[in-house]
Structure 1
């Protein structure tokens, strides 16, 4: 697998980044010189338009003028681009995570600071050349042990243990976020509801590739170890039918027992070790490769 430049390379710090580490890895794949450490712009890297279609090199000016053309039919073209998280994304990321713990009052600002303070692993999605610099998606993974003393992580753990009503699950959850927290990566993945689904597999590919790279590229062994996850903790929401526990009734009605708001959650649930409240899942890190393959297939099927 082609490797991206290490984050420790000083030449990268002042170089303007137009796409995320995932995009940079694609750019490197097109280079015959695998040892080269400079970022290269891909000549025909596909971008994603706001109507869910893939745009292969369409002229940007043509796209920006399309909304004023006579044949405008209500579809606005917008190119989504991947970026490393930065401090300037604070407001956009905070808006996306506003309901991450439902209506609980907690240190959300501190949580956003953790996400933006870890640019080596994490991606935000924006619209290219957007004057408002809005954030349409954020995905990252935070080591629970690394940030255990932060107020936001303490409050998040307390929240999970408090809302869990399954007495058999609580000890497992407490063990996961406590004694074995060093092995757990909290996957934070929030986005606007109408984000093109074609963006999702590359987003997760970028996340898990970056985690793998971080185990070698971080400047100290301690930091590298923070990314050697054995479990991923995923917090999400689902719609559960009121008769979901009545198998006969559900079979007769023909209705779905569970509706997944995020398509990836159905795959994560298949790979789970524990299912907590139907909202939180602990997945073995060793099963990520299975998830990536299934998720690519799922999105491809949905697109046709």
Structure 2
């Protein structure tokens, strides 16, 4: 980072530089000796935020394995892009973990700046092919094409059981870094590349087979949409446009047999991000 960036060689919390502390559930093997103390299943874990580094490659790649459903694409190149952009982007790890496991990756990549990279071309192609909604496809094509220089692809992947309390500081870190980059990057071209007007977010949801009817029936007990990540409900509500499409990688469980696993693509104006940050804090505090 440039000298104006806060250093993150050490762990940080976006508010007070303390390590974020939480409890991870961990299953223990049955004890062979009855003399041993019974393990209660809880271990203390100190989560910390770090700038992406090359040794995070395998951890980040694992998190992004199904990013484009079951498509064969240049995932390696995509991970390299993410890790190469150290001024904006955060990985979450456990402090002192020798395995270097990555629990979350959050970043924003300028679609214009990286337009000639194979992985970005493949993402654009994937999204355009997936969009079957005529009232959205023109906006999508514009966002991925002529306006790409002002568009950030917001990438946010994590392990399922990451404590939700980490989400507000994680997104705060991302959007603060974007803001700092517009002032602190060494060249005007780089500074401008973080002046996003829109964010594109590609996520996954479970959509009820009768979702359109359910949205009209407020007394129905089944949700029309089940979001796999709580923040996506906020992004969806704030989005200028969105569309969903069927995915192939994951079949719903028996409990979700009335739902389809879908991709959800959303375009959110950058000016809505402050609202998003406030609503995310409220959502997590209430839960």
Normalised to the residue count of structure 1, the TM-score between the two structures is 0.80
Structure 2 unmatched ranges of 5 or more: 26-35, 245-262
Contact 1:250 1:257 in 2 (8 A): no
- Give CA deviations for 1:101-135 in whole Å, capped at 9, x if unaligned: 00000000000000000010000000111111010
Q: Secondary structure at the match of 1:76?
A: strand
Please state how far the C-alpha of 1:51 moved relative to its aligned partner.
3.5
Q: Secondary structure at the match of 1:236?
A: strand
Note closer, same or farther for the CA distance 1:297–1:26 as it changes in structure 2 (3 Å cut): closer
Q: Structure 1 or 2: larger strand share?
A: 2
Please state how far the C-alpha of 1:76 moved relative to its aligned partner.
1.7
Note closer, same or farther for the CA distance 1:85–1:11 as it changes in structure 2 (3 Å cut): closer
Which stretch of structure 1 is more off in the superposition, 253-262 or 207-216?
Answer: 253-262
Residue of 256, 259, 262 corresponding to 2:223: 256
- Give CA deviations for 1:177-219 in whole Å, capped at 9, x if unaligned: 0000011000000000000000010000000000000000000
Structure 1 unmatched ranges of 5 or more: 1-6, 28-41, 53-68
Note closer, same or farther for the CA distance 1:173–1:10 as it changes in structure 2 (3 Å cut): closer
What's the counterpart of residue 9 of structure 1?
3
- Give CA deviations for 1:124-160 in whole Å, capped at 9, x if unaligned: 0001111110100000000000000000000000000
What's the counterpart of residue 19 of structure 1?
11
Cα distance between partner residues in 2 of 1:266 and 1:77: 30
Cα distance between partner residues in 1 of 2:216 and 2:273: 35
Please state how far the C-alpha of 1:172 moved relative to its aligned partner.
1.0
Note closer, same or farther for the CA distance 1:11–1:239 as it changes in structure 2 (3 Å cut): closer
Residue of 236, 251, 265 corresponding to 1:269: 236
Summarize the alignment of residues 205-224 of structure 1 with structure 2, pairs less than 5 Å apart.
Answer: 205-224=172-191
Q: Secondary structure at the match of 2:42?
A: coil
Summarize the alignment of residues 160-171 of structure 1 with structure 2, pairs less than 5 Å apart.
Answer: 160-171=127-138
Contact 1:48 1:199 in 2 (8 A): no
Note closer, same or farther for the CA distance 1:249–1:222 as it changes in structure 2 (3 Å cut): closer
Residue of 42, 48, 55 corresponding to 2:21: 48
Summarize the alignment of residues 14-93 of structure 1 with structure 2, pairs less than 5 Å apart.
Answer: 17-20=9-12, 23=13, 26=15, 42=17, 45-51=18-24, 70=37, 72-93=39-60
Residues 1:202 and 2:169 aligned together: yes
What's the counterpart of residue 300 of structure 1?
285
Summarize the alignment of residues 145-156 of structure 1 with structure 2, pairs less than 5 Å apart.
Answer: 145-156=112-123
Please state how far the C-alpha of 1:247 moved relative to its aligned partner.
3.8
Cα distance between partner residues in 1 of 2:77 and 2:19: 35
Residues 1:246 and 2:213 aligned together: yes
RMSD: 2.2
